[in-house]
Amino acid sequence: MHNTLPLPILIPLMTAVTALFFWRRPPIQRIVGLAGSAALLSVSVLNFRLVCREGIISTQIGNWPAPFGITIVSDMLSAILVLATGFVVSIISVVSMTEIDEKRNAFGYTPLLHILTMGICGSFLTGDVFNLYVWFEVMLIGSFVLMGLGGERPQLEGTIKYVTLNLISSALFLAGVGVLYGAFGTLNMADLAQQLRTINRPGLVVTLSTLFLLAFGIKAAIFPLFFWLPASYHTPPAPVSAIFAALLTKVGVYSLIRFFTLLFVHDTGHTHRLILVLSALTMIVGILGAIVQKDYRRIVSFNLISHIGTMTVGLGLLTPWHWWAPSSIWSTT
């Protein structure tokens, strides 16, 4: 039992709730947000050191045993990403004190930023597929409002595109969750990993892997599902664009890595070769798109797409790294 493991989720929640009590006092909201970011970074460092010392750590919410209860789990990958989240949100909180105008602060910028952070940390720490879906929706609700906050016309146009494509992704994700539960009777990732290794229904597994590849591919913005990103990420204020670029697409990349190294390893010759090809095309299209742009922020958006391809190439290659072996450490959860 590791009592500090849920704190990266609880701290942003309490920060957002506390900031709401000062709805009419944006300066105090900013101070609360900065303090919450510092607390998140401190807890992230603590959990990272704990994972380095003990390896995989987990806890069951409400003491319900796995696979029936809600599992929160962290390995080295999760710990690194939560630590990166704390670091990025701390920087964004400092920058936001001068870069976010009073109008956006008055409409709840600080609470929304920390609701978004809670969804990101929850996505990195969950050990359950349905709870991953829940955290995705929490994260996306915060990002929808942050992107449109201010009501400027380019923002609203970008928000509509962002919302539409991500709702399609969420529908595909939810369909995959339903099929998974109907077929296996569990959504615990470690339990699913064991069952998927013994099932002899290749058609079902291919269908599921395709659903999740499409769902997470949209969220990660890989080729050819990336076109919503350069149409929307350049429209909000710079701090909002920064946290979107640094963290939101990485949740999609993380989910691809988690699912296609833990669950869908039935036919790596085909699935991972497809991911490798899509990753290469993502890198190429991102660079070519950046070359023809004139607006600096759109250039950065296309460069981000190229970098996403660089990250998922490693998943397509599927070469082992002994420091972090997801299929082995998660099987013990």
Q: What is the pLDDT of residue 323?
A: 47
Six-digit token string for 143: 């990002």
Band (308; pLDDT cuts 50, 70, 90): very high
The tens digit of pLDDT for each residue in 176-211 reads 999 999 999 889 998 999 888 888 888 888 889 999
The tens digit of pLDDT for each residue in 77-101 reads 999 999 999 999 999 999 988 888 8
pTM score of the predicted model: 0.90
Can you tell me the distance from the alpha carbon of 316 to that of 207, in angstroms, rounded to the nearest whole number? 19
Please state which of the ranges 34-38, 42-46, 219-223 shows the lowest mean pLDDT.
219-223
The tens digit of pLDDT for each residue in 229-275 reads 887 887 888 888 889 888 988 999 999 999 999 989 877 778 888 99
Question: How many beta carbons lie within 10 A of that of residue 64, not counting itself?
Answer: 11
Can you tell me the distance from the alpha carbon of 201 to that of 184, in angstroms, rounded to the nearest whole number? 12
**Percentage of the chain modeled with pLDDT above 90:** 47
Nearest alpha carbon to residue 147 among 158, 161, 136, 135: 158
Burial bucket for residue 170 (CB in 10 Å: 0-12, 13-18, 19+)? middle
- Answer for the pair 332, 273: CB distance below 8 angstroms, yes or no: no
Can you tell me the distance from the alpha carbon of 18 to that of 115, in angstroms, rounded to the nearest whole number? 12
Cβ neighbours of residue 50 closer than 8 Å, sequence gap 6 or more = 2, 4, 57, 79
Six-digit token string for 332: 């013990």
Q: What is the 3-state secondary structure (H, E, C) of the chain?
A: CCCCCCHHHHHHHHHHHHHHCCCCCHHHHHHHHHHHHHHHHHHHHHHHHHHHHHCCEEEEECCCCCCCCEEEEECHHHHHHHHHHHHHHHHHHHHHHHHCCHHHHHCCHHHHHHHHHHHHHHHHHECEHHHHHHHHHHHHHHHHHHHHCCCCHHHHHHHHHHHHHHHHHHHHHHHHHHHHHHHHCCCEHHHHHHHHCCCCCHHHHHHHHHHHHHHHHHHHCCCCCCCHHHHHCCCCCHHHHHHHHHHHHHHHHHHHHHHHHHCCCCCHHHHHHHHHHHHHHHHHHHHHHHHCCCCHHHHHHHHHHHHHHHHHHHHHHCCCCCCCCHHHHHHHC
Q: What is the pLDDT of residue 328?
A: 42
Nearest alpha carbon to residue 330 among 33, 125, 100, 96: 125
The tens digit of pLDDT for each residue in 289-303 reads 999 888 888 888 888
Is a pLDDT exceeding 80 seen at residue 66?
Answer: no
Q: Where are the domains of the chain?
A: 7-332
